[in-house]
Structure 1
Amino acid sequence: MGYRVVVAGATGNVGREMLNILAEREFPIDEIAVVASSRSTGDEIEYGETGRMLKVKNIEHFDPAGWDMALFAIGSEATKIHAPRFAAAGCTVIDNSSLYRMDPDVPLIVPEVNADAIDGFRAKNIIANPNCSTAQMVVALKPLHDRARIKRVVVSTYQSVSGAGKAGMDELFEQSRNIFVGDPAEPSKFTKQIAFNVIPHIDTFLDDGFTKEEWKMVVETKKILDPKVKVVATCVRVPVFVGHSEAINIEFEEELSAEEAQSILREAPGIMLVDKREDGGYVTPVECVGEFATYVSRVRDDPTVDNGLVLWCVSDNLRKGAALNAVQIAELLGRRHLKKAA
């Protein structure tokens, strides 16, 4: 016996990826509904690559009563309206927006890292999905933290334009084309030209000079992994369509060699270690697109601090950073609490 599942925001990048992953992982579904704003009402969208077409319904008029869970990818403003409505009707919301991530009554879950925290979901009947850059990082940090206790993390991100949605992908494509033919490449979605450039600015600036994206990485890592871990981040947008990369410097309380860290990561859930210290012996964003794993490469000792390591981490941000993690939360919710599937 399966579940009755709603995908909200099914016409966007993340919503479509949620449908793909639900199909790929053969999530036990008895009935599925796709909902979005009135602009998309009546459109048809394929359920994964099954050939089955689903008609998009207007979320404003959708009755969530009797549905088991809803995977939300509709942004904070719409979530503020609809998540409490779905949750009150008994439909557990798994939300991809930032709205509820720091709510103390809402668990913020990465299943490989803090699965037990999901037990608190009944307080609001809402579960939060973390920021894309946080999700992949904590998957890589967790097994190392368990072994040697992390004191401090310094991370620089190289985040793809898909993190800014379809508009970000379109802008990179159009600017690249315009530059090749000699036309202007004026920014619209981003603050500066993104084609053949990098922009050290994601989300809004805060009073202390950090951006909100950088703040998210700090506070979310503390909530998911350990509140004692110190984190500082610099988040950069790069001209890559899909796939976030991170250079992570880690300082531990205990000694941990690069070789032992490699052995730990090789066996850790959700991680694929590709670390051959030779030309091409590492993973780049292009190679991780469409994959479930968080890839780790270039693990090495940091000689500038006691008990320090440096590593490179790459993941498909539309998958582990968003849609895959949401589906994994749904699987975890089913196993631990709903238990309807055979």
Structure 2
Amino acid sequence: MTFASAAIPPTVAILGATGAVGQELLTLLEERSFPLKQLRLLASPRSAGQTVAFKGQTLTVEPVSAEALSGVDVVLASAGGSVSRQWAPVAVEQGAVVIDNSSAFRMDPAVPLVVPEVNPQAALTHQGIIANPNCTTILLTLALAPLAALRPLRRVVVSTYQSASGAGARAMEELRQLSRTVLDGGEARSEVLPHSLAFNLFLHNSPLQANGYCEEELKMLNETRKIMQLPELSLSATCVRVPVLRAHSEAVNIEFEAPLSVAEARAALAQAPGVELIEDFEANRFPMPTDVTGRDPVAVGRIRQDLSHPQALELWLCGDQIRKGAALNAVQIAELLLEAAR
């Protein structure tokens, strides 16, 4: 299912237009010359009335309502799970396709969970809602998919180093302010995050589950299984917040059913869509958050044989959480639907 060719160019609504991801969606729609009949900016009543520049025009943010969603073909939603659960069904009932960046629908069996470079065909099976995966999952699957095409995966162990951007614009600003406070000799008191990130790090603050894993870590497990159609994949994650403004990093250990050489893995990743190889072993230079901030590709490097296991490789990756980890992935899904409707 896709939207009708009569809806090209589509009327697009950004729900959560004033947030960090909403602002990035605006940038990407302009950068990628996404065809638009009309663009509507929607947010909570608290944010309504703000103005935003887009393609030389000044657009006013409207409060989300059934009326504001009427006549919309595509909704790019990034306003949180409760907002999506409330308004996504309303938009679908009025004929829109909702591409949702929250966790509200990701594990719903009837809702495709899509990374366009990994499982683009899944987007075309939607029944009105398409889920955008968690940021860390998107970055991980971009690296796993080209390798899984060469050898079946047996087990993945991943440690994440997640920037303040994953907690939103307010967390990013708090990191800036508290870093100044610490440098000036003051005490860092966090209000947005449970602990200060200024010159500090802490295990991810999503709710802990009975098995000792936090919600963020289980998202990586369950979403990766769904996207890659590997329901039995063994995956263990440890997620950490680090004092980086923007862009997440991941250390990944991948065990295969049969040995895969470093050379084969490197060649596959170098050619993989959405991936950029950054490796200079002589200079000890590998991907850093600053390499990918504000950029589309996920940078991968330091691919090496796991010395403890003949069928496992290690690699390191960095990706912009707001861009490919959220907004870009959503826009790419919308582009898939456009292409299918033409």
* TM-score bin (small chain): over 0.9
Deviation digits for residues 38-92 of structure 1 (CA, Å, limit 9, x no counterpart): 1121211122xx3322111110354323221110011011111100000111010
State the match for 1:267 in structure 2: 271
Task: Provide the C-alpha distance between the structure 2 equivalents of 1:131 and 1:261, rounded to a whole number of angstroms.
Answer: 25
| Residue in 1 that maps onto 2:59 | 54
Does the CA-based 8 Å contact 1:8-1:71 persist in structure 2?
Answer: yes
Within the candidate set 272, 278, 284, 2:282 is matched to: 278
- The alignment status of 1:187 with 2:190, answered yes or no, reads yes
1:39-50 paired onto structure 2 within 5 Å:
39-47=46-54, 50=55
> In the alignment, residue 209 of structure 1 is paired with which amino acid?
G
The correspondence for 2:171, drawn from 168, 177, 182, is 168
In structure 2, the residue corresponding to 1:151 is in which secondary structure?
A: strand
Query: What's 2:41 paired with?
Result: 34
- Structure 2 CA distance, aligned partners of 1:220 and 1:111? 14
For 1:274-333, what per-residue CA distance to the aligned partner results, in whole angstroms no more than 9, with x for missing partners? 112132521200121110101101000112113110000100000110000000000011
Distance in 2 between the 1:216 and 1:178 partners?
34
Identical amino acids, percent of aligned pairs: 44
2:132 is aligned with 1:114: no
Letter in structure 2 aligned against 1:311? L
Question: Counterpart in 1 of 2:110?
Answer: 105
Whether contact under 8 Å (2:287, 2:299) holds in the other structure is yes
Match of 1:308 among 302, 307, 312: 312
Name the SS of the counterpart of 1:111 in structure 2: coil
Q: Is 1:142 the equivalent of 2:142?
A: no
Q: Which residue of 2 aligns with 1:7?
A: 14
1:242-257 paired onto structure 2 within 5 Å:
242-257=246-261
Secondary structure of 1:40's counterpart equals coil
Deviations 1:125-176 (A, max 9, x none): 0000000000010011000001111110000000000100122112211211
2:185 maps to amino acid: G
Q: TM-score, normalised by structure 1?
A: 0.95
Aligned-partner SS, 2:111:
coil
Q: Could you list the per-position Cα deviations for residues 247-286 of structure 1 after superposition, in whole angstroms to 9, with x for gaps in the alignment? A: 0000001221111100111111110111121325212001
1:82 and 2:82 aligned = no
1:53, 1:158 → 2: CA distance? 37
Shift of 1:12: 0.4
Deviates more, 1:253-262 or 1:8-17: 253-262
Could you tell me the TM-score, scaled by structure 2's length? Answer: 0.95
Out of 37-46 and 53-62, give the one that drifted further. 53-62
Give ranges in structure 2 of 5+ residues lacking alignment.
1-7
Contact 2:152 2:256 in 1 (8 A): yes
Partner of 1:291: 295
Looking at structure 1, the residues matched to 45 and 69 of structure 2 have their Cα atoms a distance apart, in angstroms, of: 17
Are 2:226 and 1:223 equivalent residues in the alignment?
yes
